[in-house]
Chains A and B, each alone.
Chain A
Amino acid sequence: MHTRLILYIAYSLKASLRYQRCKAFFYDLLENPQSNLKSYFDIFMICLVISSISLLLYEVEHQTFKWAAIFERFVVTVFIIEYLLRGWVYSDIHSAIIKQHENSEYLGTPFRLHNVLGEILAEKFSYIFSPSAIIDLLAILPSYRPLRILRIFLVFRLLKLFRYSQSIQMFTGVLRNKRFELSMLAIFMGFLIFIASTAIYMFENEKMGGQINNLYDAFYWAVVTMSTVGYGDLTPVTQGGRLVTTALIISGLGLMAFFTSIMVAAFSEKMNEFQQDRVKASIEKLDNSTIVCGFGRVGQDIARQLQEDQQSFVIIDNNEQHIALAKHQGYIALFDDATQNSTLTQAGINQGAKAILCATGDDVANVYITLTSRYLNPDITIIARASHEDNVKKMHQAGASYTVQSYTIAGLLAAEYIGHPVAFEAINGILHGQQDVQMEVLNVHSGCFLDGKSIEQANFAQYKARLIGVASKNPVHARRRNRYKLRNQHFYFNPDSSFILYQGDILVLIGRHLGIEYLHDLIATSCLHKQQGKSL
């Protein structure tokens, strides 16, 4: 009977979306390192711990206030709730029950509740006995009145800070990695202290005229001397005692050097990893980013423009100097081979990236990166740089959305200069955004104020902008003059005033930044109004 009830509860929990959502929320809040909620919660807890400890220190010398007791009670309540929630989030009881039940169904064996119970308890105990859970518990216990004696453990609250600060976690991580070296050192140190303290006790006891009265004194002296602190409160007087001291000081120096070198090595080993982790974490937060492969002349120039436009981007390069330069400029940079799937995945090709630029100077690498990127993400925009005309086709075959032929356009541009230098400069200025005048495309969205209007009615002149043409797929315009084929649509150059605009048409305008921006906003707001009107 009990078993059936428990199974019923387990299955209904599994099916309950609200329960799952609730648990996911608390997981994000407490444990998920990627969630923003956790960072807010951590800051809140750090403040709580510090203020409760400050209050404790204040109470040492001052009278307690009534509100202090209330605050203490609040802090402890938060700690208890946190402790229990962590225990709850740690593992899923219902899935353990369901798994066991399904296993026994499959094997045809009877379902025994106590087996599952054992498993669940083992899992929960592993939480209870994890170091951080023990610290959490010790931070709570002293507040329980009968355990007032444990007040000293309130200091454990400070240890709770470990949980909430990444840099402290990093430090413990480093120590954990050097466990072997550190334990070797501890054993050696133990021996040394043991030998030194027995020797000094033998030479410097009261009977010999020394100051070491007991073994505890000897131990204290050995530690103080070995660490090269040497307070001088206990000093050797006998010949033998001085000899032991000399030997201990020398070995102490070696020991300290050994300890320092282990720590330094551990940190320098880990530092790269931490930096990479930090880069990864910052990439994960990016949205609508561009991946720039290759940080040579072209890559650098593109990065500068992206930075000026405040667009997010990630740089990948396998040249150490290039990466150092990128980091120096404060860009997010990955030192890795961009042709590898893992590198591109790490750069966020499937997460936040909208486009990838293959800007290395090597066509072979660019083709390979294009191919890899297209394989990883069929929808991403890929812009590939081609140094040789012959490779353009290969790049398109590999999946490039657009190619840029660096030498070809330079040659074309140079030829253009002959004949009309003024026009060339004008277009060049617009192209490079050097002037306030810009060429811009605006989409006619469904329901916006331009939809269904003729060009005469739209009157772009009032925005100090002029219409060069309209790009459209709409077959309605097919009979208009000045039609030029453009991929899967047509470009209508210099449309006459009776040309009627429809949704999906793309306007190509020339005008000042201010006017075009205004027109853009006008289109967007008129769309919104229409949508709101519909929904009402």
Chain B
Amino acid sequence: MSHSLIAVFGFNSMSFELITQLIAKQHTLIILDDDPAKINQALEKGLPAQLMDYRQDDDLIALGIGARVATLFCFLEMDSENVFLTLSARVLDKNLTIISVVNRPESAEKLLAAGATKIIDPFEICSNKAYQLLNKPSITWILDEVVFGRADLNMAEVNIPEHSSLDQSYASELYLNEKYNLFLIGVVDKELGDKLYFSLGEQDHKLDAGDILVVLGSNRDIRKFKKEIGVINDAI
């Protein structure tokens, strides 16, 4: 993932948080905006930024969409701008991961129709968070730590590689919490599709190469587990 480029369109308080996180995770990225003032701000902060008009397909191609850009974040101010950018990028690259913010709920469908992989509604996230704080304040802390990884507690996906020791074993026989100090949240059993099955002791899954384990634990333990089952130790 770190070899490919992440393009972030729009420099504002929301994308700044994203950029900080991505840099912390050692991703290669570039910030693009059509406002010279914002580009200057980004450059002053020592961030890689470039002035660019998202309306020009040639510029997008020159940037590397369709080639080395693997992920595109649309964090522009207006929904219409994000829809336009999504549409242009999708035409250039069918496999590009496009993540876009949405300001008005009715724009969500348009963005998805334009080809966005994932949409993020800051208002919805905010209200959900507020609601959760209201009803389950203690859960919120844990989710904060887990989802946003502020403490040394992380959620990670582990792809089971070919010829791994886990190949052909059963999820119920993993005993991750005892052996590796990890909490198994769920399993994506590729035989049954892409759905995540929560590990609640309801049904057992036979693991094959390509299946995904979603685990929770400290970075060290996750790395140790990955090493042992033969996953290349890349960035988590």
Contacts and interface: CB of A to CB of B under 8 A. Distances in A.
Query: Which of A290, A408, A423, A424 lies at the interface centre, i.e. has the most chain B CB atoms within 10 A of its CB?
Result: A423
A466 B1 CA distance: 33
Interface string A287-331: 000100000011111100110010000000000000000000000
B235 to A, nearest CB: 7
B131 A306 contact: yes
B171 to A, nearest CB: 13
B134 A407 contact: no
Interface string B10-46: 0011111111111001010000000000000000000
Interface in A420-459: 420-427, 431-432, 437, 439-441
Interface size class, chain B: 35 or more
A196 interface: no
Given A406-B126, A440-B136, A425 B141 contact: no
B179 to A, nearest CB: 11
B155 A423 contact: yes
B113 to A, nearest CB: 20
B236 interface: yes
Contacts, number: 211
Interface in B69-96: 71, 73, 75
A464 B142 contact: no
A63 B228 CA distance: 102
B138 A431 contact: no
Nearest to B202: A464
A309 B217 CA distance: 32
B214 A439 contact: no
B110 interface: no
A416 B148 contact: yes
B47 interface: no
A406 B120 CA distance: 12
For the complex of A and B, 5 pairs with smallest distance between CB atoms: A411-B17, A415-B21, A301-B127, A406-B126, A410-B122
Interface of B: 1, 6, 12-22, 25, 27, 71, 73, 75, 97, 99, 101, 105, 118, 120-143, 145-149, 151-153, 155-157, 177-178, 181-183, 185-186, 188, 194, 196, 198-202, 212, 214, 216-218, 235-236
22 contacts: A297-B123, A299-B127, A302-B127, A357-B130, A383-B134, A402-B137, A409-B129, A412-B21, A413-B120, A413-B148, A414-B120, A416-B149, A419-B236, A423-B155, A439-B139, A439-B143, A440-B136, A441-B139, A469-B142, A481-B181, A493-B216, A510-B198
